[in-house]
């Protein structure tokens, strides 16, 4: 039955021929097959390597920040006030907050650890998110790599100054006195460097995978 609104005429049309039905069904199945192909190709698969690298980077930066932040030691040091007199033995503390380089190192690793937790949640649950979110994560990953390496460089330079001293400006080495403090600093630097390398490896891995995928697409086309 067809209803024409202007004339309100009821007419009965004959059923369509079987050939038209077959063509219609065939085209419907073809369209459904193409849509299924698109649905399978578009979602980004979850990679366990992404999850593992972010977990390890988060753990490394957390340990580095805690070890450096809690590093402190107090030793009794002889101080000569007047040449030729007996030295005074004064307790001298060594703490992380006495050095701006160490403070920057702790802040950089704390920021990287917090970001690792956030990006881990995005990696697990945001695979179907918008492209703007993926672009933002990529940019922040690069920033975290630069932040961690800059923090490692600043803390390492100051640590070497405390380990070797500087005879040109009259700075004596202190690691022969504050051995425990220097060991904690060295351990935190090594762990943070491992986290930095993990972040750099993560970005390099993604670049290589994308490069290989683009080349494979060009060859197939």
Structure tokens at 153: 């460089």
Model pLDDT, residue 62: 95
pLDDT tens-place string over residues 45-101:
556 777 788 899 899 999 999 999 999 999 888 888 888 788 888 898 999 899 999
pLDDT averaged over the chain? 76
Helix H segments across 70-130? 100-125
pTM above 0.75, yes or no: no
Percent of the chain past pLDDT 90, that is, above it, reads 30
- Provide the pLDDT confidence category of residue 5 given band limits of 50, 70 and 90: very low
Cα–Cα nearest to 195, from 99, 47, 67 = 67
Model pLDDT, residue 130: 64
- Provide the pLDDT confidence category of residue 150 given band limits of 50, 70 and 90: very high
Cα–Cα nearest to 177, from 78, 67, 64, 69 = 78
Model pLDDT, residue 34: 47
- Provide the pLDDT confidence category of residue 17 given band limits of 50, 70 and 90: low
Q: Is the pLDDT of residue 215 over 90?
A: no
- Provide the pLDDT confidence category of residue 22 given band limits of 50, 70 and 90: very low
Percent of the chain past pLDDT 70, that is, above it, reads 67
pLDDT tens-place string over residues 172-194:
888 888 999 999 999 999 999 99
Q: For residue 166, which phi and psi values (nearest 5 degrees)?
A: -145, 105
Q: Is the pLDDT of residue 107 over 60?
A: yes
Judging by beta carbons within 10 Å of its beta carbon (0-12, 13-18, 19+), is residue 207 exposed, middle or buried?
Answer: exposed
Model pLDDT, residue 53: 83
- Is residue 46 within 8 A of residue 180, CB to CB? The reply is no
């Amino acid at each position: 039955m067809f209803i024409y609104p202007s004339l309100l005429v009821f007419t009965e049309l004959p059923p369509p021929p079987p050939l038209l039905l077959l063509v219609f069904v065939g085209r419907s199945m073809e369209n459904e097959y193409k849509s299924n192909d698109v649905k399978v190709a578009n979602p980004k698969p979850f990679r366990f390597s992404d999850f593992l690298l972010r977990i390890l980077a988060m753990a490394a930066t957390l340990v580095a920040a805690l070890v450096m932040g809690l590093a402190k030691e107090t030793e009794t040091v002889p101080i000569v006030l007047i040449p030729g007199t007996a030295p005074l033995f004064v307790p001298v503390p060594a703490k992380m907050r006495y050095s701006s380089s160490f403070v920057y190192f702790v802040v950089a690793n704390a920021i990287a650890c917090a970001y690792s937790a956030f990006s881990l949640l995005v990696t697990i649950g945001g695979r179907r998110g918008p492209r703007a979110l993926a672009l933002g994560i990529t940019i922040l990953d690069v920033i975290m790599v630069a932040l961690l390496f800059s923090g490692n460089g600043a803390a390492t330079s100051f640590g070497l100054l405390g380990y070797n001293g500087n005879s040109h400006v009259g700075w004596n080495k202190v690691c022969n006195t504050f051995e425990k403090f220097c060991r904690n600093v060295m351990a935190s630097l090594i762990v943070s460097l491992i986290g930095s390398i993990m972040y750099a490896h993560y970005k390099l891995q993604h670049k290589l995978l994308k490069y290989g995928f683009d080349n494979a697409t060009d060859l197939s086309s």
